[in-house]
Amino acid sequence: MRGDDRGQTARPVDRALASAPVEDETSEEEAAAVARSREWPFEQVVPGVGFNIDQIRNHRLNEEKDPRA
């Protein structure tokens, strides 16, 4: 394959992306999913990712004392 062949294969993709419609509206289903996600209590989410509340609070306190931490 010659070096200039790679550019030829990318052009149709570039044109397709440039002419694709922009999706800037949120569906009712997407909006409802976001609303449900905001209802989760922080105390329930933290253990699900392997931490406990004290670890989170201590980390926040340490960052306030030294933002580079």
pLDDT in tens, 23-45: 778 899 999 999 988 888 888 88
Let me know how long the chain is.
Answer: 69
User: Taking the domains of the chain in order of start, what are their residue ranges?
Assistant: 41-69
pLDDT of residue 31: 92
Q: CA nearest 56: which of 44, 34, 39? A: 44
- Quote the percentage of the chain above a pLDDT of 90: 10
Q: Residue 65: which H helix or E strand, with range?
A: helix 53-65
Contact 58, 69 (CB under 8 A): no
pLDDT of residue 30: 92
* pLDDT at residue 66 tops 80: no
pLDDT of residue 33: 92
